[in-house]
Chains A and B, each alone.
Chain A
Amino acid sequence: MTVAAIKTPLLRVENVSVRFGGLTAIDRVSFEVYPGELLGLIGPNGAGKTTMLRSITGVVTVSEGSIELEGENLNRLATHQRIQKGLALSQQLVKPFKKISVIENVALAAGAPITRSPLKALMHVSQKEELAVAMTMLERVGIASYAGQNPGIQPLGILKRLEMARALAQKPKLLLLDEPLAGLNSKEAHALASTIQDINRQGVTIVLIEHNLGEVMRVCQRMVVLDNGRKIASGAPQAVMQDAAVRAAYLGGNPDDDQAAETGTESRKEATHA
């Protein structure tokens, strides 16, 4: 953490609140993502993780606060503009284009410099280079042998990797992974988490949103914990999990000190919400 703290952050989320009518989904959350790190964003169901992610990508508008990428405020930009600035998102619900092959799905993402302008897109036909990039990305996530296949018939494990390859093909400065392990069995989840770790080691900065605590603790260097829309802890995985507030949020009862008592009641409220 100290090493990370000296660098300037790649992404800065500052005092962000998101309200839907009377409901406060995110309440004054701040955190930073530093270049090169693999940050885990965790929290129990309904903690606001996905809303947080959506406010970073611009699907949800923030009510207060600011989101900056490399010092540039993203608040007013549409989703595709934020992506063009260097974000990439691997969606929780995998959505491959089913009428084109696995590799063409990735090539479509790799063609971002061409598809940026309709005129340029009209003038270009060949996707040879993009297919080559796509192949590299498929190799990186370990599904190169599926390149020519129809994505509509692939099992979830392959599709999750396809979704990630598509995000990587955009050569993002920051890769956002929304529950990539959800729905996988423990063996698949373990393998994919290791792949994520490898990709991070190759120099891609990643925010990993996950439910699977064990895998997050294994691969992430730092964690931010949300509960009931608030940030309740951040730091190294082991230290965070020792935190009384975090334990109370996850276990939802019998906090043994005053600080945790407050969070404990919040998480019980949260449970009734769910």
Chain B
Amino acid sequence: MGYEISLLTSMGISVLFALSLNLITGFCGQISLGHAAFLGIGAYVSALLTKAGLPFLATLPLAMLLSGAIGIVVGLASLRVRADFLAITTMGVGFLFVGIVRQQDWLGGELGVSGIPDSGFSKMSFMVLTMLLCVVVALLCMYLKKSWMGRVFNGVAEDEDTMRVLGVDVPRYKLAAFAIGTAIAGLAGALYAQHFKFIGPDSFGFIESVTVLSMVVVGGIGSVAGVIFGAAVLSALPAWFQFIGDYKLLVYGGLLFLMMRFSPDGVTGLVKRAAMKGGAK
């Protein structure tokens, strides 16, 4: 039972993390290959603050705040670049995060941060908390999609130059997407640190960024339900099939490639097309 609870908790954290990237990449069309850095920022903020004696719950908003603030700074720096160049820039941000953390003794350097104090939650109630936050964020995403902000995000994702001609201040919307997305990644990071009780620079490297991107792509870029499905399945895979753990990058990279080649809109697209075919018969 303890194992299932632990697995469900880490699946929930992956879902939160994937939903946060989906906000930036799926909704607003801004690709990020360094999203794990924001998971890391949230994790480090929460880990260090709980070690300093702050209650775990109080660290959640602070993790979101710092992650979101740095997200805005990165967003500002990324406003001038698009598509492939944005991918490279955000990848650089990811490496920058790992590089900085490695060199800082007060962040634990190479050894990372361990001995993170207990949250006071039982394993069960921590899982419930994680699930609850997943539901809240999923609802927020679905609301966002229906709101005018979601309409503008769609427009920016499809053709930002035309959005400018419609009088939309495109940079401000991109920053809004970065701020919300990175803040939620920070929240996921705080849960991550508390759940695994240990964090290090390698927990938030390029592999994590690619992993979360493949969760979003496999699920279906932009689809809330699809991304939840993708993140849940892909985060559970290594636990179900031990060998995948050894070949994680290969499996995720392969899935990412296959999806982009054969079904760019992910499982969501596959299901939709299958339903349409079924309906036509």
Seen from chain A, the residues whose Cβ lies within 8 Å of a Cβ on chain B are: 57, 78-81, 83-84, 89, 91, 95, 97-100, 108-109, 111-112, 114-118, 120-125, 127, 166, 170
Query: A116 near B154 (CB under 8 angstroms)?
Result: no
B162, B164, B165 — most chain A CB neighbours (10 Å) = B165
Residue of chain A at shortest CB distance from B180: A122
Contacting residues, chain A, for B2 (C-beta < 8 A)? none
Complex interface: stretch among B141-149, B189-197, B237-245: B141-149
Bound CA–CA A73/B241 (angstroms): 66
Bound CA–CA A194/B139 (angstroms): 49
Query: B154 near A97 (CB under 8 angstroms)?
Result: yes
Bound CA–CA A261/B144 (angstroms): 63
Bound CA–CA A112/B144 (angstroms): 18
Query: B155 near A121 (CB under 8 angstroms)?
Result: no
Seen from chain B, the residues whose Cβ lies within 8 Å of a Cβ on chain A are: 143-144, 146-149, 151-152, 154-155, 158-159, 161-162, 164-170, 172-173, 176
Contacting residues, chain B, for A79 (C-beta < 8 A)? 164-165
Bound CA–CA A115/B162 (angstroms): 14
Cβ contact of B170, chosen from A80, A116, A117, cutoff 8 A = A80
Cβ contact of A80, chosen from B144, B154, B155, B168, cutoff 8 A = B168
Closest beta carbon of chain B to A78's beta carbon, Å? 8
CB contact under 8 A between A114 and B165, given known A97-B155, A98-B158: no
SS class, residues of chain B in contact with chain A: helix
Query: A108 near B166 (CB under 8 angstroms)?
Result: yes
Contacting residues, chain B, for A166 (C-beta < 8 A)? 166
Query: A115 near B152 (CB under 8 angstroms)?
Result: yes
Query: B167 near A91 (CB under 8 angstroms)?
Result: no
Task: Please report the number of residue pairs spanning A and B whose Cβ atoms sit closer than 8 angstroms.
Answer: 81
Bound CA–CA A227/B164 (angstroms): 29
Contacting residues, chain B, for A108 (C-beta < 8 A)? 151-152, 155, 166
Closest beta carbon of chain A to B74's beta carbon, Å? 18
Cβ contact of B166, chosen from A100, A109, A127, cutoff 8 A = A109
Residue of chain A at shortest CB distance from B176: A118
Cβ contact of A115, chosen from B144, B161, B168, cutoff 8 A = B168
Closest beta carbon of chain A to B25's beta carbon, Å? 16
Contacting residues, chain B, for A109 (C-beta < 8 A)? 166
CB contact under 8 A between A80 and B162, given known A122-B144, A127-B151: no
Bound CA–CA A187/B93 (angstroms): 56
Contacting residues, chain B, for A81 (C-beta < 8 A)? 169
Bound CA–CA A57/B164 (angstroms): 10
Bound CA–CA A59/B148 (angstroms): 26
A89, A108, A114 — most chain B CB neighbours (10 Å) = A108
Bound CA–CA A125/B173 (angstroms): 16
Contacting residues, chain A, for B173 (C-beta < 8 A)? 118, 121
Query: B158 near A83 (CB under 8 angstroms)?
Result: no
Bound CA–CA A117/B159 (angstroms): 19
A-B contact sample (18 more), CB < 8 A, given A80-B169, A118-B172, A125-B148: A79-B164, A80-B167, A80-B168, A84-B167, A89-B165, A91-B162, A95-B159, A97-B158, A108-B151, A112-B168, A114-B148, A115-B166, A115-B167, A115-B168, A118-B152, A125-B146, A125-B147, A127-B148
